[in-house]
Chain A
């Protein structure tokens, strides 16, 4: 996914920046706790299509 696009994408619910999870191929917002799928290389930034993150997933990334 293009970095310049990632730079301007935000969660449509919280308006916070999203981060790319390469493993699940999702765009993640820890503020709203939602994960947006990327289908056919197109980010699907719809609340209705988003998955709710688990409590563990919502924790900040560990080193």
Chain B
């Protein structure tokens, strides 16, 4: 595991040096930060809101809890958690990308969410929080962009309280061949065009489609969570497996 890793990793379908992936992913998100919410709505036809709502509903968040929203980007989940945990609780919005964090903070302040939200720029692979800190950790559409996913899962396990819950919401693998065909066409033909038209950035959205295909499938991710020390790991497909919600508990 700690052997001098292969020096390259995938960036979408390309092989790039490990250090470069971090930089390239950062560039993608610096580039899309300003239009991130608009693009999410357009690309998913608004369904991403439903996926996020289902995640919140299954989180079991309640007053007084400590929640960590990793790769929280523009703060969709953070805003909902902020309301649920109330003034006695806390939500930490963490992202490795300062552009995304700032867009998120502005948006949350405009929405009147404040008081129990903190912002931290952090790398999911080595989280800067004390052991056993959080009741719930979410990472929505973020794990895909992390270079060393196993290290990230172990780091999340460390900072969760015993009994705490990890929720990974991420694009996954569709199981219906017809849906897969339509989805592939959409992802590789329509999506980059939309990215070009709206954000003038076809490359970033091509990376998005490719990175989704390179991400571990449902069973593989579940096994990775087991290996990182979570118990009761399970997943639930949404929209035919376009997206899956994995959950696991720290024993």
The residues of A with any CB-CB pair to B shorter than 8 Å are 2, 4-5, 7-13, 15, 17-18, 36, 39-47, 49
Contact = CB atoms under 8 A, between A and B. Distances in A.
B90 A4 contact: yes
Interface size range of chain B in the complex? 20 to 34
Interface in B109-144: 118-123, 126-131, 133
Contact of A10 (B92, B101, B123, B128): B128
B119 A12 contact: no
A45 B118 contact: no
B137 to A, nearest CB: 13
Interface of B: 66, 90, 92, 96, 98, 101-102, 105, 118-123, 126-131, 133
Contacts of B119: 41-42
B130 A10 contact: yes
A12 B127 contact: yes
B121 A8 contact: no
Contact of A45 (B66, B90, B128, B131): B128
B129 A42 contact: no
A47 B121 CA distance: 11
A-B pairs with lowest CB-CB distance, top 5: A45-B128, A12-B126, A12-B128, A44-B121, A5-B118
25 contacts: A5-B118, A8-B92, A8-B129, A9-B128, A9-B129, A10-B130, A11-B128, A12-B122, A12-B126, A12-B127, A12-B128, A15-B130, A39-B98, A41-B119, A43-B120, A43-B121, A44-B121, A45-B122, A45-B123, A46-B96, A46-B121, A46-B122, A46-B123, A47-B123, A47-B126
Nearest to B129: A8
B123 A42 contact: no
B118 A2 contact: yes
A5 B92 contact: yes
Nearest to A41: B119
Contacts of A2: 118
A10 B133 CA distance: 11
B83 to A, nearest CB: 19
